């Protein structure tokens, strides 16, 4: 069973409740999951990190059992800027004014925005299978449209939620207890059957198309870069490198001190290769 010795908590912040697990000892480390996962995806990795760090694994806003951001025409409340601020508030309410940060997939977008906007809070940043939204959109070609079509489908009003909630198991047919474990699977399975959570997850994508890329562009136009040391990791059996080329080269446009490498895994690396992922995180954070 994952999350050995971890405590399941609900912490209230200004925007609403955040569900998370906390365990381990040492410097604080925040882990942010991707779509359509909940914090449970981190279980195997969290157990490996707990001897060295106080590990916090929340359901990010709009996902799992955390609060659903209210709607807005520009999806502002689901923006990575708002979610980053909410999660910094979460960590401070738990007594951590600064912390290490890891984000995967959609969580990597929040982690990037947090490192940009809350420089006093983020000591070091690890991004897994992620690039700034603006880079995705400006580099998009027919292969991106073919393989990542859901970005643009989810950007449409109303229809994505209707399609997904008509048969959540068919839409998320790649979910498997064999890969993630029965407890994590049950948690995600429950989440995708809640229409309000489906809406929250889809709004995360709408925010990318509507407003997140504008925040990225404002940083780029102003010449702002991430100031803390950054590690970029990607799954070698996923397609981010095949579509975009060397992720480290791209991230050097956004961070002052960045290094990185690929890990032998499919996209859900925390579940598929937790040992190598945890090793990479520990080696980087201990430098």
239 is catalytic: no
Tell me whether residue 169 is in a domain.
yes
Q: CA 266, CA 31: separation in Å to the nearest integer?
A: 19
Q: CA 77, CA 238: separation in Å to the nearest integer?
A: 30
Structural domain for 174, as ranges: 7-285
Q: What confidence tens digit (pLDDT) does each residue in 127-171 have? A: 999 999 999 999 989 998 899 999 999 999 999 999 999 999 999
Tell me whether residue 42 is in a domain.
yes
190 Cβ contact partners less than 8 Å away, ≥ 6 residues apart = none
The whole model's pTM is what? 0.98
167 is catalytic: no
Please state the domain count of the chain: 1
Q: What confidence tens digit (pLDDT) does each residue in 76-133 have? A: 999 999 999 999 999 999 999 999 999 999 999 999 999 999 999 999 999 999 999 9
Tell me whether residue 1 is in a domain.
no
Catalytic residue among 35, 199, 267, 268: 267
Cα angle 40-126-260, degrees, rounded to a multiple of 5:
125
CATH of the domain at 183: 3.40.50.1820
Catalytic residue among 105, 187, 204, 216: 105
């Amino acid at each position: 069973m994952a999350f050995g010795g971890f405590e399941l908590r609900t912490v209230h912040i200004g925007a609403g409740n955040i569900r998370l697990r906390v365990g381990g000892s040492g410097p604080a480390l925040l882990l942010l999951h991707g779509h359509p996962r909940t914090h449970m995806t981190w279980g195997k990795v969290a157990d490996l990190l707990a001897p060295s760090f106080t590990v916090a694994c929340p359901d990010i806003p709009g996902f799992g059992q955390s609060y659903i951001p209210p709607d807005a025409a520009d999806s502002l409340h689901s923006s990575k800027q708002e979610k980053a601020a909410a999660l910094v508030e979460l960590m401070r309410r738990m007594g951590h004014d600064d912390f290490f940060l890891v984000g995967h997939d959609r969580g990597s977008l929040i982690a990037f925005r947090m490192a940009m906007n809350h420089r006093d809070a983020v000591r070091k940043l690890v991004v897994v299978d992620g690039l700034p939204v603006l880079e995705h959109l400006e580099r998009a070609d027919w292969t991106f449209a073919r393989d990542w079509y859901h970005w643009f489908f989810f950007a449409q009003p109303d229809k994505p939620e209707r399609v997904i909630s008509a048969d959540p198991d068919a839409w998320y047919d790649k979910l498997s207890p064999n890969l993630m474990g029965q407890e994590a699977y049950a948690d995600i399975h429950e989440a995708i059957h809640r229409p309000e959570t489906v809406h929250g997850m889809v709004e995360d994508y709408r925010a990318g198309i509507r407003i997140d890329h504008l925040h990225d562009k404002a940083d780029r136009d102003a010449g702002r870069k991430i100031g803390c040391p950054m590690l970029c990791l990607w799954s070698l059996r996923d397609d981010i490198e095949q579509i975009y080329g060397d992720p480290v080269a791209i991230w050097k446009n956004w961070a002052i001190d960045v290094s990185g490498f690929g890990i032998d895994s499919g996209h859900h690396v925390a579940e598929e290769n937790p040992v190598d992922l945890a090793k990479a995180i520990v080696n980087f954070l201990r430098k």
